[in-house]
C-alpha cells in the first residue's frame, strides 16, 4: 500500500526521482489511489527500458543499444544508421514525424528488393498493380497483335493501353499512339473531329491518271507568312 506521505494536495511523489508532480504526470494504474501509479512517466519509461534490457540479456545473451539522441527536425534511419534531416526521408502521413522509416536511398533500395522478392521485378509489379496483368499476359497480347502497335503498326510497342473507366486492357501501343489517345481523352468524337480537321487543312494527293497524282490544296486555312 502507498504511504500517506506519497500524496498531498493533488500531487504525488515519484518513488524513484522523489519529485512531487501532478497526478497526470504519472502512468495510469487502477491499483493506486487516483488511478495513477507510483512512478512518474519519465521514471517509468526508464524502468521499462532497464527491464527490457535485462530480459534480452538473459534470454538472448546480448546487450540492448542505448537510446540515440536525434536533433530536432532530424530522424534516424535504421538501415544506414545515419541521422538525417526530415527532407532526406520520403513523406509518410501515417508516421507521427510525417516521414517514412528509411531515408530516400535506403527506402528506394528496400522497395526494389521487395518488388524483386514478391513480383520478380519492377515491371511485373507495375503491370500487376496498375493493370492487373503480368509480363506473361503482356507478351501473349503482343503476340496476338503480331508484335506491333495496335494502331500504327510500329515495331516493339511497350505501352499497355486500358479503358480508364472500366480498367479493362485494350491493347499494346507505341509511345506516340498511347500518348495521342490520352491527349484526346479516349473520345471517339474528338478523334473523328480531328480526322475531319486534318482532311480539310492538309494537302491531299489525288489520283488523276494511273500512276499520276496531283497535290490538292486544303479547303480552308491560309498560307504561311513570308519570311524575311
pLDDT of 3 higher than 50: no
In DSSP terms, which residues pair with 212 in a beta bridge? 209
Task: Give the domain 74-116 fold.
Answer: Wheat Germ Agglutinin (Isolectin 2); domain 1 (3.30.60)
The set of long-range contacts for 74-81, using a CB threshold of 8 Å and a minimum separation of 24, is: 75/99, 77/101, 77/102, 77/103, 77/106, 78/102, 79/103, 79/106, 79/109, 79/110, 80/105, 80/106
pLDDT classification of 228: cutoffs 50, 70, 90: low
Q: pLDDT per residue over 145-200, tens digit each? A: 999 999 999 999 999 999 988 989 999 999 999 999 999 999 999 999 999 888 88
pLDDT of 1 higher than 50: no
When pLDDT is averaged across residues 7-28 and rounded to a whole number, the result is: 88
Q: Is 47 helix (H, G, I), strand (E, B) or coil?
A: helix
pLDDT of residue 88: 96
pLDDT of residue 67: 67
pLDDT of 83 higher than 90: yes
Residue 218 to residue 144: CA distance in whole angstroms: 38
Q: Is 85 helix (H, G, I), strand (E, B) or coil?
A: strand
Whether the domain at 4-60 and the domain at 121-183 fall into the same CATH topology: no
Task: Give the domain 4-60 fold.
Answer: Wheat Germ Agglutinin (Isolectin 2); domain 1 (3.30.60)
Domain boundaries, the chain: 4-60, 74-116, 121-183
Q: pLDDT per residue over 40-63, tens digit each? A: 999 998 899 889 889 988 888 888
Residue 85 to residue 98: CA distance in whole angstroms: 12
pLDDT of 99 higher than 60: yes
220 versus 122: which is more confidently predicted? 122
When pLDDT is averaged across residues 108-116 and rounded to a whole number, the result is: 94
Task: Give the domain 121-183 fold.
Answer: 3.40.1800
Amino acid at each position: 500500500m502507498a504511504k500517506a506521505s506519497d500524496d498531498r494536495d493533488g500531487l504525488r511523489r515519484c518513488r524513484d526521482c522523489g519529485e512531487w508532480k501532478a497526478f497526470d504526470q504519472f502512468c495510469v494504474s487502477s491499483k493506486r489511489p487516483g488511478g495513477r501509479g507510483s512512478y512518474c512517466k519519465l521514471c517509468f519509461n526508464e524502468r521499462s527500458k532497464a527491464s527490457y534490457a535485462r530480459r534480452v540479456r538473459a534470454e538472448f545473451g546480448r546487450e540492448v543499444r542505448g537510446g540515440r539522441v536525434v536533433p530536432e527536425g532530424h530522424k534516424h534511419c535504421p538501415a544506414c544508421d545515419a541521422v538525417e534531416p526530415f527532407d532526406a526521408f520520403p513523406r509518410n502521413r501515417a508516421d507521427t514525424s510525417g516521414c517514412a522509416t528509411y531515408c530516400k536511398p535506403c527506402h528506394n533500395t528496400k522497395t526494389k528488393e521487395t518488388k524483386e522478392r514478391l513480383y520478380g521485378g519492377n515491371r511485373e509489379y507495375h503491370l500487376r498493380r496498375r493493370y492487373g496483368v503480368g509480363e506473361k499476359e503482356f507478351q501473349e497480347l503482343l503476340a496476338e497483335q503480331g508484335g506491333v502497335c495496335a494502331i500504327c503498326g510500329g515495331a516493339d510497342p511497350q505501352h499497355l493501353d486500358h479503358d480508364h473507366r472500366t480498367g479493362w486492357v485494350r491493347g499494346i501501343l507505341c509511345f506516340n499512339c498511347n500518348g495521342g489517345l490520352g491527349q484526346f481523352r479516349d473520345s471517339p468524337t474528338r478523334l473523328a473531329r480531328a480526322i475531319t480537321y486534318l482532311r480539310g487543312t492538309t494537302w491531299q494527293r489525288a489520283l488523276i491518271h494511273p500512276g499520276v497524282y496531283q497535290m490538292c490544296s486544303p479547303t480552308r486555312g491560309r498560307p504561311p507568312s513570308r519570311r524575311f
